[in-house]
């Protein structure tokens, strides 16, 4: 059984190397465990639910491919499939993550009711999705989430709400940092589960630590990047920009000398 599960978690990444999604599952476990330090039961439940939706997508989508069933890609593709009556695992995430984020925002200490609760939920869901969009090359999503989580740890605290924000930033920082060596060496990958939960934890920390204007600005940036990703490949932009390309490849293994990429850019690593 363990061998079968291990096989189910194996993937071939963009460079043709075999990697394991166990990294992502361990990241989810670490984030959820550390989020219990907030003292708010809703935080670990929200993050566990987001991680579980990602893991279901990670495990079921390859089965759909092997069965010859079409697999939708991108937010537009998943919602398009939903309009035709087909609930894809991606569409389940697109619906489930915002609902879980809204529940988490409503249960946060000293919640801002009404519009700000919706903004906070949108920011958490948007960060979860954006981290997943970046997880196309080794270390890329982690290089975005870890600095953000570290900066949030430096934000002023002192209220019960902001203290929970620091715990959530730490919940993203520690498991993400632990996963970085495995990710860069291409022994494992975050997958939807790990990337979604890290983005959600960092986004949740931002909702507790940043003032309303900063959260609105951050949400606008996340939405803009998400919409751009539907038309423009992040990898194309990164590879054509010297500074971004150097940062993206920092710490990564050299690409294999021969053999084409086995997956399209929009596919998971």
Task: State the pLDDT at residue 72.
Answer: 56
pLDDT of residue 156: 87
Question: Which range among 70-84, 105-119, 235-249 has the greatest average pLDDT?
Answer: 235-249
Backbone φ and ψ of 186, nearest 5°:
60, 40
**Could you give the percent of the chain with pLDDT greater than 90?**
65
Interhelix angle 115-134/212-229, nearest 10 degrees: 40
pTM: 0.88
* Cα angle for residues 158, 223, 41 (degrees, 5° grid): 40
Predicted local distance difference test score (pLDDT) of residue 81: 61
DSSP codes of every residue in 143-199:
HHHHHHHHHHHTS---SHHHHHHHHHHHHHHHHHHHHHHHHHTTSB--HHHHHHHHH
Query: What's the Cα-to-Cα distance from 99 to each of 87, 88, 96, 125, rounded to whole Å?
Result: 16, 17, 5, 9
pLDDT level of residue 265 (50, 70, 90 thresholds) = very low
1 or 117, greater pLDDT: 117
Look up residue 24 and give its two tokens.
Answer: 């992502």
For residue 106, give both structure tokens: 């409503």
Whether 3 shows a pLDDT value over 90: the answer reads no
Q: How far apart are CA 100 and CA 164, in angstroms?
A: 18
Question: Which three-class secondary structure state does DSSP give residue 265?
Answer: coil
Average pLDDT over every residue of 237-252: 96
Q: What is the DSSP letter of 16?
A: S
The domain spans of the chain are 5-9+17-249
Give yes or no for residue 89 having a pLDDT over 60.
yes
Q: How many CA atoms lie within 13 A of 136 on its CB side?
A: 19
DSSP secondary structure, 78-135, as one string: HHHHHHTT---HHHHHHHHHHHHHHHHHHHSSS---THHHHHHHHHHHHHHHHHHHHT
Mean pLDDT to the nearest integer, 8-22: 88
Q: Per mean pLDDT, which range of 38-52, 69-83, 114-128, 133-147 is the poorest?
A: 69-83
CA separation for the pair 14, 183 (Å, rounded): 13
Task: Please check whether residue 235 is in contact with residue 264, taking contact to mean a CB–CB distance below 8 angstroms.
Answer: no
Q: What is the mean pLDDT of residues 10-25?
A: 90
For residue 85, is pLDDT > 70? Answer: no
Which of 184, 188, 177 shows the shortest CA–CA distance to 6? Answer: 188
Residue 154, judged by CB atoms within 10 A of its CB (0-12, 13-18, 19+), counts as exposed
Label residues 237-259 b or e (16+ Cβ within 10 Å = b).
ebeeeeeeeeebbeebeeeeeee
Q: Return the minimum-mean-pLDDT range out of 16-25, 68-77, 240-249.
A: 68-77
- Whether 66 shows a pLDDT value over 70: the answer reads no
């Amino acid at each position: 059984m363990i061998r079968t599960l291990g096989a189910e978690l194996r993937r071939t990444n963009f460079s043709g190397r075999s990697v394991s999604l166990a990294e992502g599952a361990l990241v989810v476990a670490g984030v959820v465990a550390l989020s219990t330090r907030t003292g708010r039961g809703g935080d670990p439940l929200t993050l566990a639910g987001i991680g579980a939706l990602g893991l279901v997508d990670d495990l079921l989508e390859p089965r759909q491919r092997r069965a010859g069933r079409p697999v939708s890609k991108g937010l537009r593709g998943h919602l398009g499939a939903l309009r035709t009556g087909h609930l894809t695992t991606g569409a389940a995430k697109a619906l489930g993550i915002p609902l879980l984020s809204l529940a988490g925002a409503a249960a946060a200490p000293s919640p801002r009711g009404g519009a700000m609760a919706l903004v906070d939920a949108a920011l958490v869901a948007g960060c979860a999705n954006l981290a997943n969009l970046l997880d196309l090359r080794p270390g890329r999503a982690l290089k975005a989430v870890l600095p953000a989580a570290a900066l949030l740890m430096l934000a002023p605290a002192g209220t019960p709400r902001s203290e929970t924000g620091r715990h959530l930033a730490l919940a993203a920082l520690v498991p993400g940092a632990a996963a970085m060596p495995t990710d860069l060496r291409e022994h494992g990958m975050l997958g939807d589960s790990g990337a979604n939960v890290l983005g959600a934890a960092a986004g949740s920390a931002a909702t507790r630590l940043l003032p309303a204007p900063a959260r609105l600005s951050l949400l606008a940036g996340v939405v803009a990047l998400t919409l751009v990703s539907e038309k423009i490949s992040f990898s194309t932009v990164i590879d054509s920009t010297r500074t971004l390309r150097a940062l993206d490849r920092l710490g990564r293994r050299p690409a294999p000398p021969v053999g084409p990429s086995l997956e399209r850019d929009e596919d998971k690593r």
